[in-house]
Structures are given as structure tokens and as C-alpha cells.
Amino acid sequence: MARAGESSEVYVYSSNQNSFRHSITRVGRLYQIETGGGILTDEMGMGKTSSVLALILRTLAFAHSWSVHAEPAGFFEHHGAYARRRSRATAVVASSDRMFPEPCGRPIVLPL
């Protein structure tokens, strides 16, 4: 959460240069290295799993280009032990008893 009068995402780093600040850790960076993420909640049977899987499939090309893109200069030196490699990993947590119904009498097949 941003404090009163403060932006939670973009702030001036030095000499009018916009930077990004993590809203929880308050660590500032010149480049936005996070593409997003979140938690999707709703009542059972509302299509959360199908929606997320459709989003993952729709953004596969972007995920690949992001994962192979080089880190900004100085990223690993600045963050030291906190540096992490980019990954295309995605976790989908769902109840197996209601997952993947068979519409029109045929199962849904998803690529891995």
C-alpha cells in the first residue's frame, strides 16, 4: 500500500528519471521487471480455471520472449543474493473433482 501522498509504482529515482518501487519491499528499480501476477477467487463453478488456462495459452509467446530477454544491466550486481533467473513457470491450483469437464462429449486437451 502506498503511504499518503506517495505513488506505489513509479517514483523519481534521480534527475527526473522514472523508476519502479515494489509496493511491499519498497525496493526501487530503474526497470519494471515484474509482468504481473495475482490470485483469482470466486465461487466454485464460475470458470476460474478455464479463464486462467485460456490466459496462459493466449500469452505463451509473450512469456517465451520475456523468459529469454536479457536482464537489465547491473541487475544481478545490484541485487546480489536476491537475484533470480527468469522463468516461464506458472502454477495453477485447482480442485481436481470439478476440473476439465467434457463439453460436446469430448475431453479438453491442453499442450504442456
Phi (first) and psi of residue 54, to 5 degrees: -65, -40
Q: Cβ(42)–Cβ(48) under 8 Å? A: yes
The tens digit of pLDDT for each residue in 32-45 reads: 555 667 788 888 78
Q: Which residues contact 9 (CB under 8 A, 6 or more apart)?
A: 20, 21, 23
The grid coordinates of residue 6 equal 506517495
Q: Cβ(34)–Cβ(25) under 8 Å? A: no
- Let me know if residue 22 belongs to a domain: yes
Q: Which residues contact 63 (CB under 8 A, 6 or more apart)?
A: 56, 88, 90
Q: Quote the distance between the C-alpha of residue 6 and its chain's center.
A: 24
Which residue range forms the structural domain that includes residue 19? Answer: 11-98
Least confident of 4-8, 89-93, 105-109: 4-8
- Let me know if residue 73 belongs to a domain: yes
- Let me know if residue 106 belongs to a domain: no
Identify the band that residue 112 occupies on the pLDDT scale cut at 50, 70 and 90: low
The tens digit of pLDDT for each residue in 44-71 reads: 788 888 888 888 888 888 777 777 776 6
For the chain, how many structural domains are there in total? 1
- Let me know if residue 110 belongs to a domain: no
- Let me know if residue 6 belongs to a domain: no
Q: From CA 30, how far away is CA 17, in angstroms rounded?
A: 8
> For the whole model, what pTM was predicted?
0.42
